[in-house]
Every structure is written in structure tokens, then in C-alpha cells.
Amino acid sequence: MIWWPSEIPTLQYGRYTLRPPIDSDVTSIFEACQDPLIPRFTTVPANYTMAHALDYVQRVPASIELQREIPFVIEFGVGDDTEFAGVISLHTISIDNHRAEIGYWMHKPMRGKGIGTMATKMITDYGFDTLGFKRIEAAVDTDNTDSQKLLSSAGYQREGILQQRVMRSNGDQIDMVMLAAINQSWKRLD
């Protein structure tokens, strides 16, 4: 059985924090999404505006109430020396099938430091241990080898190619690599 939270918790592991998005994150989210790599490999629009960032933060209560998504902001650091690193969520929820999809993007200066890998492990642990999911999957653009490596480093297994799974804003229908973590075989943080 899936347990669904009434609010998004804060998850912490050493210098890594996953917390609910708040209004003061809007500018950081907007600025990070100006990086053309984010809309290239995600569903973030290429012409990302402050209104998009504000909508992302303000739709959190509805996402929880409707059991659609559990979004987090990723922070890295300790105390006053904490930096915005990106966002991560469990979405495309199937309560009946005990399944969710993970999605994320990292702010450009925070990439390649293991922060995304640790955030992936943290949200996966939360999805399995607290929420009760049996499967968490990720669909990654076949060209996004960095994201495939991140997920593999976090313990996700490649399962295959989903042909013509996503339509990009330029009209291209693209293939995606399916990776997944299964609760029984997952290696916990602790």
C-alpha cells in the first residue's frame, strides 16, 4: 500500500538536502532554466519564464492533494553555505501499480559533483521506504549519456529503449532509455 504525505518533507543526508519548493526559489529556478541543456533533455520549455518558475512552486499543494507529484528542491552545503543545486521529483504516479517516475535537472554549476546522484538515492529511498513504491523508473533521452550515468551510479538498471516515447518542442519524436530501481534489489543509503 502507498502512503501519501499531506506535505512535502525535508530529507537530509550529510551536506545534501531535499526540501519543498518555496516562493524564494522562483528566481533560482528561473535562472537555472536559462541553460539550454535543461529544456533539451527535459519537459522544461525552451522559453522558460519567471511565470513558469512561479507556477512550478505554486502548484505544489495541488500536486500533493491530487497525488500527482512530490517535488523537491536540491540544496548542497551546510548552514549558511548552502547552494541551490536543482530540482527532483517523483511524478507520473501510479498508486495502483506502486510505481512512480523520477525526474530531475541540475543547475549547471552543480553538475558533475555527485549531487544529482545523491539526490536520486535520497528520493528513491524515500519512495521505497516511506511511500511504499515497488518500482521507480526514469525515461532518459538516448543522447543524454550524463543522466544515464548518474542514474546508473545511483543504482538504477537499464532496461531498454522506448521507441518514439516523447515529442520534443521542435516536433521531433525521440527514443528514450528506460532505467529503473526495484524495491527488493535497491541498495539503501545507510
Q: What is the pLDDT of residues 30-82, one digit of tens each?
A: 999 999 999 888 889 889 999 999 999 999 999 999 999 999 999 999 888 89
Which CATH number is associated with domain 11-136?
3.40.630.30
> Does position 26 have pLDDT exceeding 90, yes or no?
yes
Mean pLDDT of the region 104-129: 97
User: Is 189's pLDDT higher than 90?
Assistant: no
Nearest CA among 190, 163, 158, 159 for reference residue 176 = 163
User: What's the mean pLDDT in 76-94?
Assistant: 93
Q: Which residues contact 96 (CB under 8 A, 6 or more apart)?
A: none
Choice between 168 and 19, residue whose per-residue pLDDT is larger: 19
User: How far is Cα 118 from Cα 4, in angstroms, rounded to an integer?
Assistant: 23
Tally of CB atoms within 10 A around 186: 17
Q: What is the pLDDT of residues 118-163, one digit of tens each?
A: 999 999 999 999 999 999 999 999 999 999 999 999 999 999 999 9
Q: Which of 136, 180, 139, 135 is nearest to 161 (CA)?
A: 139
Amino acid 43: pLDDT: 86
Length of the chain: 190
Is the Cβ–Cβ distance between 85 and 115 less than 8 Å?
yes
- Facing residues of 167 across strands? 173
Does the pLDDT of residue 18 top 90, yes or no?
A: yes
What is the sign of the dihedral through the CA atoms of 86, 162, 63 and 182?
A: negative
CA 21 to chain centre: 13
Which residue ranges make up each domain of the chain? 11-136
In this structure, what C-alpha cell is assigned to residue 21?
Answer: 519548493
- pLDDT band, residue 25 (cuts 50/70/90): very high
Question: In angstroms, rounded to a whole number, what is the distance separating the alpha carbons of residues 17 and 115?
Answer: 10
As a whole number, mean pLDDT of residues 12-21 equals: 97
